[in-house]
């Protein structure tokens, strides 16, 4: 019988199918016999480390081993932290831990395009830290860099910014990077000391958390390849203030060995009268209780008030106390860390004399092109430049321009309109105070690089952080930095200086120490140079920026 076209097609399909199956048989056999296995995930057997509370499981991410959300303490509301309760089995340290509750935020900030934020679950049990390391082993001892996030003493978290990721800094510098969450705002500073010895230090619970985290580092960081005898603390804005406050705390002795304060951290306690500061903080606590229809015998009930109600009451109380004292009564809250000459002293601790300090600011802080101007400053005609300078400085224009050009010869003259002159006196006062009795040099920097977006964004508050962490090309951040050759070269310089300081106490051979007589400042920019930055006359001529240029608390 003559075969039909249909039967030929079926036979051809059967032959092809059979041939394919036969060809696959050797590969299948090889797989089942174990001679050609598919590659396994690097986290099929993730790293496990023993710490004081128990065992934790991290994960590998390229060259870096990461542990997230490690408990370093526990605490009841308004009480001092204690070591975490030990756990059985292996605790996962593969995701971020809870962040401290913060006041409700209803809108994105103006910097979210260039400094993108992210938010996470909130819980008062926020005593967790994160570690990035190149060798989770006691066989090595690498420098340890402990990051303290910004947000004043009110907001923020260790994971709030993509720029805070420690992986790239750990890889670039072969260091162990640590960050942590701790109690903030009303649950970190409310002064209940008038209601019993149990709450004597309630106004310092947030700072006590930081101390607890550093104690945990001392006890455990060797397990992650870190050297507990070479710990650098660094922070920005409110994080910079946490760094310098720790040098005022006797209990922090021996917990760190170097300090970097970025755009914050003014050492201003000499002008503080502790009794007055305590009285004001206690008044805020009393007014908070009143707002909630409670009294001093009901602190246990205060502990159970939902956070949302507590922060609303506390903010209203702080406003009330400020207005009664003749202040503006703004909505910022009263959540500062005060000096009481016991837990926090007005003068730097004696042991802080041996702690090297680097402190600095950025070019525009809060008064740059991101929030001021028409976004065209790099396109202005000469007539527009003259008009804007005259409008800002009047008859002092020529003097301002001359002083600015002496200080910043590589900047455009119109950039003076965005110079954060209000931030410079504070950082110089901090360095001078520290240098008085210091056994080590102090160092100063100014980050002045302009982000290549939106007509050019002058260096804004937080703009240096991505460079410090070597995160310029992190996908969310690259949009703002451009990730181009200039940004890449600059992040090597900035991160390199921070790493050199962490390793040796000296930010590098191109730096010179700062002194009042020779105020050497490393200006980080497309052209970076260290020179005496004598801008006192410029700061004076520019006048009061109305707080817009001042760095964080």
Q: Is the pLDDT of residue 553 over 80?
A: no
Distance of alpha carbon 229 from alpha carbon 396, whole angstroms: 52
Residue 452 carries which DSSP code?
S
Lowest-pLDDT range of 109-113, 170-174, 333-337, 444-448: 333-337
pTM of the model: 0.91
Predicted pLDDT at 532: 98
The per-residue pLDDT for range 532-546, each reduced to its tens digit, is 999 999 999 999 754
Q: Report the residue count for the chain.
A: 553
Is the pLDDT at 14 greater than 50? The verdict is no
Choose among 339, 518, 323, 335: nearest CA to 435.
518
Per-residue confidence (pLDDT) for residue 291, from 0 to 100: 97
pLDDT at residue 265 greater than cutoff 70 = yes
pLDDT at 452: 96
Q: What is the mean pLDDT of residues 218-231?
A: 98
**How large is the average pLDDT for residues 53-64?**
97
Residue 8 — very low, low, confident or very high, per pLDDT cuts 50/70/90? very low
Domain 357-542 has CATH 3.30.70.2520: no
**Window from 14-18, 63-67, 338-342 with minimum mean pLDDT:** 14-18
- What is the average per-residue pLDDT within 368-388? 96
- Nearest-angstrom CA–CA distance, 372 and 29: 69
Tell me the mean pLDDT in the region 500-510.
Answer: 97
CB 66 within 8 A of CB 136: no
CB proximity list for 505: less than 8 A, separation 6 or greater: 258, 356, 440
Question: Worst-scoring range by mean pLDDT, 98-112, 123-137, 144-158, 390-404?
Answer: 98-112
Q: How far is CA 56 from CA 66, 135, 147, 197, 259, in A?
A: 11, 15, 21, 36, 29
Distance CA 8, CA 279 (A): 99
Highest mean pLDDT (candidates 11-25, 260-274, 486-500)? 486-500
Q: What is the mean pLDDT of the chain?
A: 91
Q: Report residue 328 as tokens.
A: 């503006």
193 and 200 in contact (C-beta within 8 Å)?
yes
Mean pLDDT, range 126-139, rounded to an integer: 97
Residues whose CB is less than 8 angstroms from the CB of residue 183 and which lie 6 or more positions away in sequence, other chains included: 75, 100, 124, 126, 205, 206, 209
Q: What is the pLDDT of residues 331-358, one digit of tens each?
A: 456 798 999 999 999 999 999 999 999 9
The CATH T-level fold of domain 48-269 is Rossmann fold (3.40.50)
User: Strand runs (DSSP E) across 124-263, as ranges?
Assistant: 128-133, 142-148, 176-180, 226-236, 258-262
Helix (H) or strand (E) holding 282: helix 274-291
Q: What is the mean pLDDT of residues 208-234?
A: 98
**Weakest mean pLDDT among 27-31, 140-144, 242-246, 403-407:** 27-31
Show the tokens assigned to 408: 């910043």
Tens-place pLDDT, residues 32-42: 444 556 668 99
Question: Containing H/E element for 121?
Answer: none
The DSSP letter of residue 3 is P
21 band by pLDDT with thresholds 50, 70 and 90: very low
d(CA 474, CA 175): 19
Strands (E), 20-110: 48-51, 54-57, 59-61, 64-71, 90-92
Nearest to 184 by CA among 126, 100, 97: 100
Give yes or no for a contact between 55 and 48, defined as CB atoms under 8 angstroms apart.
yes
Q: How confident is the model at residue 107 (pLDDT cuts 50, 70, 90)?
A: confident
Identify the pLDDT of residue 36. 58
> What is the Cα–Cα distance from 239 to 264, expressed in whole angstroms?
7
Residue 345: predicted pLDDT? 96
* Residue 353: closest CA among 266, 264, 441, 268: 441
pLDDT at 411 over 90: yes
Q: What three-state secondary structure class fits 501? A: helix
DSSP state of 338: -
Tell me where in the chain the CATH 3.40.50.1820 domain(s) lie.
48-269, 357-542
* Contact between 287 and 447 (Cβ < 8 Å): no
CB 319 within 8 A of CB 288: no
Beta-carbon contacts of residue 332 (< 8 Å; ≥ 6 apart): 152, 154, 318
Residue 19 has what pLDDT?
A: 40
């Amino acid at each position: 019988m003559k075969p039909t076209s249909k039967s030929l097609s079926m036979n051809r399909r059967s032959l092809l199918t059979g041939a394919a199956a036969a060809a696959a048989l050797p590969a299948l056999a090889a797989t089942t016999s174990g001679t050609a296995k598919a590659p396994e995930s690097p986290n099929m057997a993730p790293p496990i480390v023993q710490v004081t509370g128990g065992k934790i499981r991290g994960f590998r991410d390229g060259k870096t081993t990461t542990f997230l959300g490690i408990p370093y303490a526990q605490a009841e509301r308004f009480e001092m932290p204690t070591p975490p309760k030990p756990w059985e089995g292996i605790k996962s340290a593969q995701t971020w831990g809870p962040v401290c509750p913060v006041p409700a935020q209803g809108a994105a900030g103006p910097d979210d395009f260039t400094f993108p934020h992210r938010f996470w679950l909130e819980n008062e049990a926020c005593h967790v830290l994160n570690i990035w390391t190149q060798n989770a082993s006691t066989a090595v001892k690498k420098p340890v860099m402990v990051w303290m996030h910004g947000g004043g003493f009110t907001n923020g978290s260790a994971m709030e910014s993509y720029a805070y990721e420690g992986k790239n800094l750990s890889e670039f510098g072969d260091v162990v990077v640590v960050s942590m969450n701790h109690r903030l705002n009303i649950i970190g500073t409310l002064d209940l000391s008038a209601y019993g010895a149990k709450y004597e230090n309630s106004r310092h619970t947030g700072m006590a958390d930081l101390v607890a985290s550093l104690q945990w580092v001392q006890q455990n960081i060797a397990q992650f390849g870190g050297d507990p005898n070479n710990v650098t603390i660094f922070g920005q804005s409110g994080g910079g203030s946490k760094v310098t406050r720790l040098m005022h705390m006797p209990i922090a002795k021996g917990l760190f060995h170097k300090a970097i304060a970025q755009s914050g951290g003014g050492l201003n306690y000499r002008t503080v009268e502790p009794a007055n500061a305590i009285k004001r903080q206690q008044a805020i606590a009393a007014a908070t209780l009143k707002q909630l229809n409670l009294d001093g015998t009901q602190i246990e009930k205060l502990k159970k008030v939902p956070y949302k109600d507590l922060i609303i009451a506390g903010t209203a109380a702080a406003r009330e106390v400020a207005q009664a004292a003749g202040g503006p009564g703004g909505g910022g809250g009263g959540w500062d860390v005060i000096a009481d000459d016991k837990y926090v002293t007005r003068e730097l601790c004696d042991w802080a004399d041996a702690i090297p300090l680097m402190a600095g600011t950025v070019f525009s802080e809060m008064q740059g092109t991101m929030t001021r101007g028409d976004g065209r400053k790099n396109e202005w005609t000469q007539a527009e430049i003259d008009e804007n300078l005259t409008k800002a400085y009047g008859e002092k224009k020529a003097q301002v321009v001359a002083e600015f050009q002496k200080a910043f010869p590589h900047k455009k003259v119109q950039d003076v309109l965005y110079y954060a002159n209000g931030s410079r006196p504070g950082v110089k006062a901090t360095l001078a105070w520290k240098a008085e009795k210091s056994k080590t040099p102090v160092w100063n920097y100014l980050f002045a690089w302009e982000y290549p977006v939106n007509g050019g964004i002058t260096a804004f508050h937080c703009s240096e952080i991505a460079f410090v962490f070597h995160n310029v090309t992190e996908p969310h951040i690259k949009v703002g930095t451009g990730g181009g050759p200039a940004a890449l070269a600059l992040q090597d310089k900035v991160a390199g200086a921070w790493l050199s300081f962490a390793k040796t106490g000296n930010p590098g051979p191109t730096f010179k120490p700062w002194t009042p007589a020779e105020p050497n400042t490393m200006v980080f920019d497309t052209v970076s140079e260290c020179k005496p930055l004598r801008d006192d006359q410029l700061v004076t001529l520019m006048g009061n920026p109305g707080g817009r240029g001042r760095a964080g608390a």
